[in-house]
Amino acid sequence: MSSFAGRMKEYPTVSLDRFDRENLHARAYFLSHCHKDHMKGLKGPLLRRKLQFSRTVRLYCSFVTKELLLNNPKYSFWEEYIVPLELESPTQISLVDEASGEKEEVVVTLLAAGHCPGSVMFLFEGCRGNVLYTGDFRFAAGDASRMEHLHSGSRVKDIQSVYLDSTFYDPRFYQIPTREVCLNGISQLIGNWIGQSPHHVVWLNCKAAYGYEYLFTNLGDEFNTQIHVNSLAMFKKMPEILSYVTTDRRTQIHACRHPKDDEFFQGNRLPCGCSAADGTPLRIISIKPSTMWFGERTKKTNVIIKTGASSYRACFSFHSSYSELRDFLTYLQPINIHPSVIPIGRTLTEVTQMLKLMCRKPSDQEAFVYKPLGVLKRSRPERPTYDSDSEDELFEGLDLAPVRKKMGLRKDVQKENLPETTAPPVSVEEPSAVTLTDTQSVSCNYVDCTESNGEDEDEEDEGKDVAANSEPPKWDDFFTTEMLPDSQNSHNSQSQSQSSRMSGSETPELFSDKDEETPDITDDFSLTLSASLSNHSSQNMDSSLPDTLILHPEQQRGDGSTRTLEDEPSASQVSSDFDIPSTPESKAPQQDELSQLYRKLASGEEVEMRKGSAVSR
């Protein structure tokens, strides 16, 4: 959970993802995505009042986030104060102190974060340097290198600070299977189950939060069906999602919820109440998306784990793994990194210390200049060096700002100023937007930057823009769903879960063999220092298991092996060697073998695992 207090050292007059306490005084607000733990104080009466008396304070977020936020009536008072921004569109924002008139300009760019629909990172560029606030995110290795706005020409921008989603910044979470791998495992499991008969259905036991939608869209495509959910309201302007969900319960894939859904499931009912169709009892399996992680040296990734006679856990993560974070940070090489989350079992000091290893070192600066690749483990574009001059060009418009106000001079940067003159509580239309030609270049000239506290590193840098090989991270399309202009309530297929409990819940005769297996492990091993590894079920299984393998509970080995994998040649390395039997020879199963296995598991057959193979018994 985010413990970020809301403000960044470099630009302390804006608040992000926190709206209480000190943040009540912010000149502008930013919401990275619509999850409750990033919305603290957002419906506070004090803030609400402040807005009513302000002509310049606004909330900036993506269009999708705005839509999701306003779907909840408790936040509807924000409507007239939200300024939705397009992704990848540098926008200049004036941060005005309404009391003194003092003003500071900053250019902000939204970058798709891959965490949930509408989630973004905010890149701030201004006289206090370039600062990246990541919000929560899931990037795969290499994603950062494909993002145009993190580059200036062919170089990575000089990032002063990164405010990082450090949820999994801990070697325990070394690797988490990619979305593709996870999805593949889930698809196979589902396909093998629902293919057996129309009465075989799947319940995706998802938590009440945005972020599972891509699962729905992909499964929907794969099986040419819609997924049953409780409500379509929040997606009414997002056709890309809307077309994959339904409130019609006659589908084989459900993601509906009910406060007592687990009880329902035990009674062989879906959360929506369905238990039979055409008089035939349903055959239901539940699949619970949850995070699974693996050690550095663990090659296999068992993406599906059977936890009961008809229940499974499937790997799914909203956040980047340790190695993905390292890839990200290694690429950006910011000067400072501030964690926004402290992984449980660790302390701020510890995490901060570990993050220091990822920061640019003084020596790197020169190393980059003279031998750009010298310090790096893998090739990549050269590092940014100080282009002291680049900025000049941009600054030719010293007094651009005033000009921009009236007309768009530069192209690339939208001027988003909710000026004094502009609109009172009218709609969210974008006020005078102006574009700048270059992505960066915030005119600091006439701006008063005095107030930033904290250390003062002056940055400059910034060069010309150039699009790198911009191939956005996959899943972007989805996470940044397009929205319909407006109402268009198509899809209102029938009643929404009018909790019609279908009576007569048949008893689970079919599943008499209820295994309560608690897939657990003993978390023994009090190995090293602080590493309070919680018991972590099964991942890190033994070697030789192919990707996407379904494990039977019994086979899960309780070795508590959290392979702490760690790169740092540190104590944790010990643990890794300690509890992990090294991977022996193992041959990866062939695809058909796998399919076979899936089919059996899905149909309930018992399957026995052996090294590198599985046989049904």
Residue 178 or residue 333: which is nearer to DNA going by CB? 178
By CB under 7 A, tell whether 292 contacts DNA. yes
Bridge partners (DSSP) of residue 132 are: 123, 162
In the list 313, 360, 599, 600, the residue contacting DNA (rule: CB under 7 A) is 313
In the list 178, 538, 544, 548, the residue contacting DNA (rule: CB under 7 A) is 538
With CA atoms as reference, report the closest residue to 231 among 491, 500, 35, 502: 491
Give the 3-state secondary structure of residue 122.
strand
By CB under 7 A, tell whether 497 contacts DNA. no
By CB under 7 A, tell whether 179 contacts DNA. no
Q: In the complex, what is the shortest distance from the CB of residue 536 to DNA, in angstroms, rounded to a whole number? A: 3
User: Which one of the spans 58-66, 360-368, 388-396, 526-534 is the region binding DNA (CB under 7 A)?
Assistant: 526-534
By CB under 7 A, tell whether 209 contacts DNA. yes
In the list 535, 570, 586, 595, the residue contacting DNA (rule: CB under 7 A) is 535
Contact pattern for DNA over residues 1 through 20, marking x by CB under 7 A: xx-----------------x
Report the greatest alpha carbon distance in the chain. 78
Residue 44 or residue 381: which is nearer to DNA going by CB? 44
Q: In the complex, what is the shortest distance from the CB of residue 21 to DNA, in angstroms, rounded to a whole number? A: 9
How many Å apart are CA 318 and CA 479, to the nearest integer?
A: 12
In the list 18, 58, 66, 115, the residue contacting DNA (rule: CB under 7 A) is 115
In the list 17, 136, 148, 459, the residue contacting DNA (rule: CB under 7 A) is 136
User: Which one of the spans 273-281, 352-360, 534-542, 598-606 is the region binding DNA (CB under 7 A)?
Assistant: 534-542
Phi, psi angles (nearest 5°) of residue 536: -135, 120
Tokens 């879906």 sit at which residue? 270
3-state helix, strand, coil in the chain (%, to 5): 25, 15, 55
In the list 36, 250, 356, 611, the residue contacting DNA (rule: CB under 7 A) is 36
By CB under 7 A, tell whether 519 contacts DNA. yes
**Mind spelling out the 3-state secondary structure of 139-191?**
CCCCCHHHCHHHEECCEECCEEEEEECCCCCCHHHCECCCHHHHHHHHHHHHH
- DSSP code string of 552-567: -GGGS----------S
Question: What beta strand segments (E) does 476-568 contain?
Answer: 550-551
What is the helix (H) or strand (E) element at residue 223, kind and residue range? helix 213-223
Amino acid residing at 259: P
Q: Are 268 and 281 spatial neighbours (Cβ–Cβ below 8 Å)?
A: yes
Beta-carbon-side half-sphere exposure of residue 87 (alpha carbons within 13 Å): 23
Tokens 């056709």 sit at which residue? 239
By CB under 7 A, tell whether 49 contacts DNA. no
Task: Tell me which residues in 54-93 interact with DNA (CB under 7 A).
Answer: none
Residue 135 or residue 472: which is nearer to DNA going by CB? 135
Q: In the complex, what is the shortest distance from the CB of residue 153 to DNA, in angstroms, rounded to a whole number? A: 34
Q: In the complex, what is the shortest distance from the CB of residue 550 to DNA, in angstroms, rounded to a whole number? A: 15
How many Å apart are CA 424 and CA 55, to the nearest integer?
A: 6
Task: Calculate the CA dihedral of residues 329, 332, 338, 341 and round it to 10 degrees.
Answer: -40
User: Which one of the spans 33-41, 424-432, 489-497, 500-508 is the region binding DNA (CB under 7 A)?
Assistant: 33-41
In the list 208, 278, 498, 610, the residue contacting DNA (rule: CB under 7 A) is 208
In the list 177, 343, 546, 612, the residue contacting DNA (rule: CB under 7 A) is 343
Bridge partners (DSSP) of residue 496 are: none
In the list 449, 533, 609, 614, the residue contacting DNA (rule: CB under 7 A) is 533
Residue 551 or residue 594: which is nearer to DNA going by CB? 551
By CB under 7 A, tell whether 137 contacts DNA. no
Phi, psi angles (nearest 5°) of residue 175: -135, 145
CA distances from 276 to 46, 283, 309 (A): 51, 9, 19
With CA atoms as reference, report the closest residue to 25 among 56, 50, 61: 50
How many Å apart are CA 445 and CA 390, to the nearest integer?
A: 15
By CB under 7 A, tell whether 290 contacts DNA. yes
Residue 21 or residue 474: which is nearer to DNA going by CB? 21
User: Which one of the spans 37-45, 145-153, 246-254, 441-449 is the region binding DNA (CB under 7 A)?
Assistant: 37-45
Task: Tell me which residues in 237-276 interact with DNA (CB under 7 A).
Answer: 259, 262
How many Å apart are CA 594 and CA 613, to the nearest integer?
A: 9
What is the helix (H) or strand (E) element at residue 479, kind and residue range? helix 476-479
Residues that bind DNA (rule: CB under 7 A) add up to a total of 42
Q: List the structure tokens of 433.
A: 């937007």
By CB under 7 A, tell whether 536 contacts DNA. yes
By CB under 7 A, tell whether 542 contacts DNA. no
Q: List the structure tokens of 554.
A: 């019994």
User: Which one of the spans 30-38, 244-252, 390-398, 419-427 is the region binding DNA (CB under 7 A)?
Assistant: 30-38
By CB under 7 A, tell whether 318 contacts DNA. yes
By CB under 7 A, tell whether 37 contacts DNA. yes
Bridge partners (DSSP) of residue 306 are: 312
Q: In the complex, what is the shortest distance from the CB of residue 320 to DNA, in angstroms, rounded to a whole number? A: 11
By CB under 7 A, tell whether 35 contacts DNA. yes
CA 23 to chain CA centroid, nearest Å: 24
How does strand 159-164 pair with strand 245-246?
unpaired
Q: 92-115: b or e for each residue (b if 16 or more CB lie within 10 Å)?
A: bbbbbeeeeebbbbbbbbbbbbbb
By CB under 7 A, tell whether 25 contacts DNA. no
Residue 291 or residue 528: which is nearer to DNA going by CB? 291
User: Which one of the spans 105-113, 155-163, 450-458, 528-536 is the region binding DNA (CB under 7 A)?
Assistant: 528-536
By CB under 7 A, tell whether 406 contacts DNA. no
Residues 6+ apart with CB under 8 A from 274: 201, 249, 254, 282, 502
Residue 238 or residue 292: which is nearer to DNA going by CB? 292
Q: In the complex, what is the shortest distance from the CB of residue 44 to DNA, in angstroms, rounded to a whole number? A: 5
By CB under 7 A, tell whether 291 contacts DNA. yes
Residue 40 or residue 411: which is nearer to DNA going by CB? 40
Residue 533 or residue 545: which is nearer to DNA going by CB? 533
> For binding to DNA (CB under 7 A), which residues are involved?
1-2, 20, 34-37, 40, 43-45, 115-116, 136, 167-168, 207-211, 259, 262, 290-293, 313, 318-319, 343-345, 519, 532-539
